[in-house]
Amino acid sequence: MNHSPFNLFAPIGIGSDHAGFEYKEALIQYLQGKGLNVQDFGPHSQDSVDYPDYAHPLAEAVEKGECSFGILLCGSANGVAMTANKHQGIRAAICWNQSIVELARKHNNANVLCIPARFVSLEVAMHMVDDFMLTDFEGGRHANRVNKIGCA
């Protein structure tokens, strides 16, 4: 594994709703196959669930530094992103291709990747996770903007 801007000694947090469950399970296996520690915030079946029940605990863990970063999945990624972004220390980005992932990291210092499972292939999702882990925040002029995101 190449250098990551994240502390990969802390687990990677991952959560979803029922629409993202299959991808969540596959991404856990993918990341563990790379020797990475993953904390699964659920759900643990494909039964219909409410995404905030999983997105809020993941966002809190990322905010507290208990997870290096987060991955959230749902059908469109909108619900999990809206939920995660209620937390002051979270910058959750909806991404559907690798170029968007790179910009979310380079320009917005995103710390939660939100994947629309109904609109991307699993292969694309895996590549996006890799790019998210390996792309550095550029800082500079972007740092001032990112520092203005929070409302507190």
Q: Which is the catalytic residue, given 74, 87, 95, 114?
A: 74
Is residue 67 among the annotated active site residues?
no
Select from 22, 90, 18 the least CA-distant residue to 54. Answer: 18
Q: Distance between CA atoms of 139 and 128, rounded to whole angstroms?
A: 21
Is residue 107 among the annotated active site residues?
yes
Handedness of CA 6, 134, 57, 25 (dihedral sign): negative
Q: Are 125 and 115 in contact (CB under 8 A)?
A: yes
Q: Which is the catalytic residue, given 3, 56, 67, 107?
A: 107
Q: For the chain, state the CA radius of gyration.
A: 14
Which of the residues are catalytic?
A: 74, 107
